[in-house]
Amino acid sequence: MSAQLGMVALSQGLGLVKHWMNVHYQSKVDIARIEAQRDVMLAAISSTKELMEMHLTMQYAERASVLSHSFRLLEQSIESKNVEGVQACLVSIQSVVQQSPLKGIQEFQNALGTNGKLLL
């Protein structure tokens, strides 16, 4: 009888070890899947960040160019006492200053397919 109990106990023990091995293997698989998903998301975030930086750099460079040109024209208009030119330059400067490049981020994200969700 004790040999049978020993065999039952050994069988149960082996069953528990097998179960533990299955759980351990599944955990490793789950960890690998989660790490792969993490890597994909990090790559998407990095890519989006780079594109947004380029977009904003270009937007601010364009604004700087327009403002620089407008201020040069403003100085020339002031020196030549051209009132209409001064007014036109001030309207141009005011228009550029009122428009924020950050407002275009929503359209930029839509173009990237992020559905308006900021990935950064």
117 inside domain:
no
Q: What is the overall mean pLDDT for the chain? A: 87
- The angle formed by the CA atoms of residues 41, 44 and 50, to the nearest 5 degrees, is 140
**Per-residue confidence (pLDDT) for residue 120, from 0 to 100:** 46
H-type alpha helices, the chain: 2-79, 83-98, 105-112
Q: Which domain holds residue 21?
A: 2-112
Q: Which amino acid appears at position 58 of this protein?
A: M
Q: pLDDT at residue 10 above 90?
A: no
- Per-residue pLDDT of 54-96, as tens digits, reads 888 988 899 999 999 999 999 999 999 999 999 999 999 999 8
**Per-residue confidence (pLDDT) for residue 49, from 0 to 100:** 87
119 inside domain:
no
In this prediction the pTM is 0.58
> 3-class DSSP state for residue 89?
helix
Task: State the Cα–Cα distance between residues 71 and 36, nearest whole angstrom.
Answer: 52
pLDDT > 90 fraction of the chain, expressed in percent and rounded: 50
Q: pLDDT at residue 1 above 70?
A: no
39 inside domain:
yes
Q: Encoding tokens for residue 106?
A: 């929503």
Q: Report the domain count for the chain.
A: 1
